Amino acid sequence: MLSIKLFATLRDRVGARTLSLPFSETVQVETLLERIASTYPMLADALPSCVVAVNRQFANPDTPVQVGDEVALFPPVSGG
């Protein structure tokens, strides 16, 4: 299982602080986001603009994610 932490409006949409997805192999962030979108359709439109962190480092679409990594999703922030 892979645990994904959600923040701000993403948390509100799902009604939970974390998601758990069954993964046993290493995947890229891009693949992970596709799986999240298909499993949690209420997040699908927000995911393309989210910031993804893997092990507290900003991640790119091709960043590998493996079971045991800390993954966090942050929606875009605006304000002044």
For the chain, the structural domain boundaries read: 2-74
Segments in the chain below pLDDT 70: 78-80
- CA distances, 54 to each of 3, 24, 42, 48, 78 (Å): 11, 16, 22, 16, 22
- Class of residue 73 by CB neighbours under 10 A (exposed 0-12, middle 13-18, buried 19+): buried
How many residues are listed for the chain in this entry? 80
Output the pLDDT for position 44. Answer: 96
Please give the CATH topology (third level) of the domain spanning 2-74. Ubiquitin-like (UB roll) (3.10.20)
Output the pLDDT for position 19. Answer: 95
